Structures are given as C-alpha cells and as structure tokens.
Copies of this chain bind each other. A is one copy, B any other.
C-alpha cells in the first residue's frame, strides 16, 4: 500500500520522461515518509548515457541530505536498475530498493543469477545490507515502457 503510493510518484516521473520522448523510467527517494528526490531518465535531453533516473536520484538525494550515503532511504524506481545504476546504488549503501517492472535483458539481477549455483564466488551487485523488492505496480510500469517502444517502431 505504502510502497504502491510511492511507486505511483515514481511512475509520475516516468510519465514526464515519456512526454519528453525519453525512455520512461522514473524514480523517487524517500526518507521518513518524505520524498527528498524525484528524477526521470534524461539521457536524450542531456545527451548523456549516465543520466538514468536512478543516478540522478542518488545525486539529488545526497545533495538534499548533504551526505553521500543513503542507508536510511528507500528508492522507488519504475524499472529494475541496470548494472550501472545497481553499482551507483551499491556505492550509496541504499537502505531499501523497490522497483516496478523487471528488466530481463538489462537488469542487474541477471548478473547475480549467472553466478548462482556455481563454485565461483557469488557476486552480488548491491550492497549486502540493501533490502530489495521487485514487481510493485509491475504492470503499469511495464505497460508504459511497452507503449513507448511501440510508438518508436511506428
């Protein structure tokens, strides 16, 4: 319920991206029931592949807090983070990550799965203390992305 409310706020950011012709991904960062950062994907507008919603949200939240680490924060993001963003979230020591749609091709968890059940060291990409939940408002978040890519192809 709570998670759905904040995911809706992230979804609103994704819609802003959609309306600008950006791949529609949005994120918010919450601490003690307060949104301290809102961001959406701006890679086209800024001509910058690093301008994913999560990177901008980590930077915005740290800026708000005046501190580098986000252990007390929850990030809500409409799509499973990519490897770059998972790395940023790991460095930030985020307290909790909640994402909407799964990203089978580009999501960070495919890397973790590839090392599971092998004798090789399991390589977690997030910080070991970061809690995570996927699939919150999954359908809405995924549908917005599908609509965007369908429009691109037409």
A interface list, Cβ under 8 A from B? 43-44, 47-50, 55, 58-59, 62-63, 66-69, 82-88, 90-92, 110-111, 113-118, 120-123, 125
**Apart from A49-B68, A83-B87, A84-B85, 12 more pairs, CB < 8 Å:** A43-B68, A47-B68, A48-B59, A49-B88, A49-B91, A50-B59, A83-B86, A84-B87, A84-B91, A86-B87, A111-B123, A114-B121
**Would you mind naming 19 contact pairs between A and B with Cβ atoms under 8 Å apart?**
A47-B62, A47-B66, A47-B68, A48-B63, A49-B62, A49-B68, A49-B91, A50-B55, A50-B91, A82-B87, A83-B84, A83-B87, A83-B90, A84-B88, A114-B114, A114-B121, A114-B122, A115-B118, A116-B120
CB closest residue in chain B, given A56? B50
A41 CA to B151 CA, complexed, in Å: 39
A66 CA to B46 CA, complexed, in Å: 9
A63 CA to B46 CA, complexed, in Å: 8
A50 CA to B118 CA, complexed, in Å: 31
Which 9 pairs, one residue from A and one from B, show the smallest C-beta to C-beta distance? A84-B87, A49-B91, A83-B87, A114-B120, A118-B118, A114-B115, A114-B123, A84-B88, A50-B88
Instruction: Please name all residues of chain B whose beta carbon is closer than 8 Å to the beta carbon of A55 when the two chains form the complex.
Output: 50, 55
Shortest distance from the beta carbon of A25 to any chain B beta carbon, whole Å? 13
Given the interface pairs A47-B66, A59-B48, the reply to whether A110 lies near B123 with Cβ below 8 Å is yes
Instruction: Please name all residues of chain B whose beta carbon is closer than 8 Å to the beta carbon of A125 when the two chains form the complex.
Output: 83, 111
